Chains A and B, each alone.
Chain A
Amino acid sequence: MPTPTATQKSVDRANPAPHLGEFHFGDRAFKWFTLSMATSVFLLIVLIGVKLASGSTLSIQKFGWGFLTSSTWDPGHGVYGALPFIYGTVVSSAIALFIAVPLSITTAVFLTELAPLWLRQPLTIFIELLAAIPSVILGMWGFYVLCPWLQAHLCPWLKSSLGFIPFFQGPIAPRNLLAAGVIIAIMIIPIITSVSREILRSVPGLQREAAYALGATRWEVTRIAVLNYARKGIIGAVILGLGRALGETMAVTMVIGNDPKIPKALFASADTLASVVANQFGGADNELYQHALLEIGLVLLGVTIIVNSLAQLLLKFTNPGLKPQH
């Protein structure tokens, strides 16, 4: 890296133009180069939207808004309606949140406030490793381990204790909506936990001290000074988890049973927006079929973008210095 020598400097001063010109060009070129790299993200978003839209025109034209409200999905007769999958996505995500949210938030509280110091780092690492498990591996594990266990133990128990509610009735399919909910929960717990953890850590120490100085116990300090303060951020973390849940594909498609009908109960097989595409795309042999599947992708895209943007807004609002989560 040549640093300007004395003679070079004097040459600069004597005749600055050529050197400045060279620097100027290099700097400008580099700046435009990196700018184009950075703005590729805008291009990608547009690309995604445009390509999905263009790839689903046949289906959009044929079914219009009815696509979203029709519950008939019959590729054999060329009739396509996405309602069963919207239903499946909503219910499986709801189940997942129901399981994951309390577990994640309490774990985050444990990690930041209540755990002994030597335990915090190892536990954090384990949770991050859990997040790193590929979806297909969790799906396989779900298929061979979780589903049989659910079918043999949890589902019958739920059926016997809550069977008076229609949702908990009916035959227990080996792969069902509940299994999908559980597996999605396992997958979104790490992200809700880690974002919540960041939020809780960012609560100013002064708040905790105020509570301690009043003679509050450890749990009271957590309750009054930390959780209260971090409310908004934690909601943002939960919505971020929801965004993840909506798009989970491989693990879901392996445990949900792949039945493109609105499931009558928790124990029935079903499909989500993501899982039906993964499952049926290989067999989509005509254009309308492909377009219908792409239109489902479009719906999924719209929903996830809205949910994720909402989460980001909430998180940035409460904690501008938050690290990006992905």
Chain B
Amino acid sequence: MNTLMPPNEETNRTARRPEFPPSQHQAADAPLAPAAPAKSSTPAFSTRNLAVYFGKHQVLKSVSLDIKAHAVTAIIGPSGCGKSTFLRSLNRMHELIPEARMDGEIRLFGQDIYSREVEPVIVRRRVGMVFQKSNPFPTMTILENVTVGLRLNGIRSRTVLNERAERALHMVALWDEVKDRLNAPAVSLSGGQQQRLCIARAIVVQPEVLLMDEPASALDPIATSKIEELILDLKNNFTIVIVTHNMQQAARISDFTAFFYLGHLVEFDRTAKIFTNPAQKQTEDYVTGRFG
């Protein structure tokens, strides 16, 4: 399987305007030193011959690709093609399933996240995740949900927590809607609001990459478009990898697209190319709706 890398080009990105203070992640003695994503040429994620097995069944077959930093990469493909598994291997979430096993290499900004000294817990603090169905903690208020990651990380100061929560809620365009009821239970929000809350919860800890597993599939069209706008905004600060079964969505919001089929990475290129002039016939068949 050839390594498919996106052509190294300068898209017309505006200069990265950091809205958060620089990441404060691990201390120097932890094996995974903080990697400030300064160089735009270091891929956010770089996988080589990634294979994932559930028991005897091989779900992902030798996937090699580079995910560009500060871009939105979409993962598309029919059901069962392994796209969710791929996403979850990026933050070692697939390890929650007992029979899961992986082979190959994954590097986060150049660092091997599966090396022996690296604990999954650490990886997950650097890589955030948003799920298909919103899952705020029902016994916590809106504010508590947003700040739970910070509090786990040891930040106790009320002012800091409130400040960062407010900024995160602004980023997800939820602040105006909830600023008067931050102490209301999180489950009192609508489905779309809950999902934006979950995104705020994920980004408030300043992850280097944000993984999204079909974040809008359970939402109505209006809420979906709000999420899509949000993703385009977040692109400036985070690298985003989004799995979606909605091809139009991928075409709308992503810079790069990877097409998976039956566990193989079939094609990976700029979104425009995938959708207008794909190199592989399978890709063309899928994006034109001939199957899947």
Complex contact flag A–B (Cβ < 8 Å)? yes
A213 at the interface (CB under 8 A from B): yes
Within 123-180 of B, Cβ neighbours of A (below 8 Å) are at 123-126, 128-129, 131, 133, 135-140, 148-149, 152-153
Q: Assuming the A-B contacts A117-B98, A224-B148, are A213 and B137 also in contact, with contact meaning beta carbons closer than 8 angstroms in the complex?
A: no
Q: Does A214 contact B131, Cβ atoms closer than 8 Å? A: no
If A209-B93, A210-B131, A210-B198 touch, whether A216 touches B152 (CB-CB below 8 Å) is: yes
A280 interface residue (CB < 8 Å to B): no
> Is there a chain B Cβ closer than 8 Å to A141's Cβ?
no
Q: Is the CB of A213 within 8 A of B139?
A: no
B138 contacts A206, CB within 8 Å? no
* Contact-size category for A: 20 to 34
A contact residues around B128 at 8 Å (CB): 213-214
Nearest CB of A to B142, in Å:
15
A206 and B148 in contact (CB under 8 A), knowing A212-B124, A228-B139, A231-B139?
Answer: no
Known: A215-B124, A216-B121, A228-B139. A206 touches B133 (CB 8 A): yes
Smallest Cβ distance from A79 to chain B, in angstroms?
A: 52
Which of B124, B137, B149 makes the CB contact (< 8 A) with A225?
A: B137
Q: Which residues of B contact A206 (CB under 8 A)?
A: 131, 133, 135
- Asked whether any CB of chain A lies closer than 8 Å to the CB of B75, the reply is no
In the complex the two chains form, what is the Cα distance from A209 to B138 in whole Å? Answer: 14
**Complex: A220 Cα to B128 Cα, angstroms:** 17
B125 touches A215 (CB 8 A): yes
Q: Which of A211, A214, A215, A229 contacts B138 (CB 8 A)?
A: A229
B122 touches A215 (CB 8 A): yes
Q: Is the CB of A212 within 8 A of B135?
A: no
Hey, what's the 0/1 contact readout for A201-213 against B, CB within 8 Å counting as 1?
0001011111111
Is the beta-carbon distance between A214 and B149 smaller than 8 angstroms? yes
Interchain CA distance A224-B202 in the complex, whole Å: 16
Shortest distance in angstroms between A46's beta carbon and chain B's nearest beta carbon? 41
B interface, size bucket: 20 to 34
- Given A117-B98, A213-B124, A213-B202, answer yes or no on A229-B93 (Cβ-Cβ < 8 Å): no
In the complex, chain A residues whose CB is within 8 Å of the CB of B121: 215-217
User: What is the distance, in angstroms, from B131's C-beta to the closest C-beta of chain A?
Assistant: 6
What's the least CB distance linking A195 to chain B, in Å? 20
With contacts A215-B149, A216-B121, A217-B121 taken as known, whether A228 is within 8 angstroms of B137 at the C-beta atoms is yes
Bound-state CA distance A206–B136 (Å) is 9
Which A residues touch B124, using CB under 8 A? 212-215
User: Separation in Å of the B133 CB from the closest CB of chain A?
Assistant: 6
A126 to B258, CA, bound (A): 51
Give A170 to B139 CA distance when docked, in angstroms.
Answer: 46
Of B98, B122, B202, which contacts A214 at CB under 8 A? B202
Residue B201, interface by CB 8 Å: yes
Find residues 28-61 in chain B having any chain A CB closer than 8 Å to their own CB: none
A212 to B126, CA, bound (A): 12
Evaluate whether A214 and B93 lie within 8 angstroms (CB atoms) in the complex, with A206-B131, A206-B133 already known: no
Whether A214 and B135, one on each chain, are in contact in the complex, defined by CB atoms closer than 8 angstroms, is no
Q: List B contacts of A212 (CB < 8 A).
A: 93, 96, 124
- CB contacts (< 8 Å) of A229 on chain B: these are 137-139
Q: Are B205 and A214 in contact (CB under 8 A)?
A: yes
For A213, list chain B residues within 8 Å (CB): 91, 93, 124, 128-129, 131, 202
Q: How far is the CA of A209 from the CA of B84 in the complex (A)?
A: 14
Known: A214-B149, A214-B201, A225-B137. A209 touches B122 (CB 8 A): no
Name which residue of chain B comes closest to A204, CB basis.
Answer: B135
Within the complex, what minimum Cβ distance (angstroms) separates B69 from chain A?
20
Interface residues of A in 181-234 (CB under 8 A from B): 204, 206-217, 220, 224-225, 228-229, 231
Q: How far is the CA of A231 from the CA of B125 in the complex (A)?
A: 27
Residue of B nearest to A215 (CB): B125
CB distance from A302 to the nearest CB of B (A): 34
Interface string of A109-132 (1 = CB under 8 A from B): 000000001000000000000000
Cβ of B148: which chain A residues have Cβ within 8 Å of it? Answer: 214, 224
Partner of B152, one of A207, A215, A228: A215
Residue of B nearest to A225 (CB): B137
Q: How far is the CB of A114 from chain B (nearest CB, A)?
A: 14
Task: Give the distance to chain B from A213, nearest Cβ to Cβ, in Å.
Answer: 4
Give the one of B93, B121, B131, B136 with max A CB within 10 A.
B121
Separation of A102 and B123 alpha carbons in the complex (Å): 34
Contact between B135 and A224 (Cβ–Cβ < 8 Å)?
Answer: no
Which 6 pairs show the lowest CB-CB distances between chains A and B?
A215-B125, A213-B129, A215-B124, A228-B139, A210-B135, A206-B135
| 15 contacts across the A-B interface (CB closer than 8 A) | A206-B131, A207-B135, A207-B137, A209-B135, A210-B131, A210-B135, A211-B137, A212-B93, A213-B128, A213-B131, A215-B126, A217-B121, A228-B139, A229-B139, A231-B139
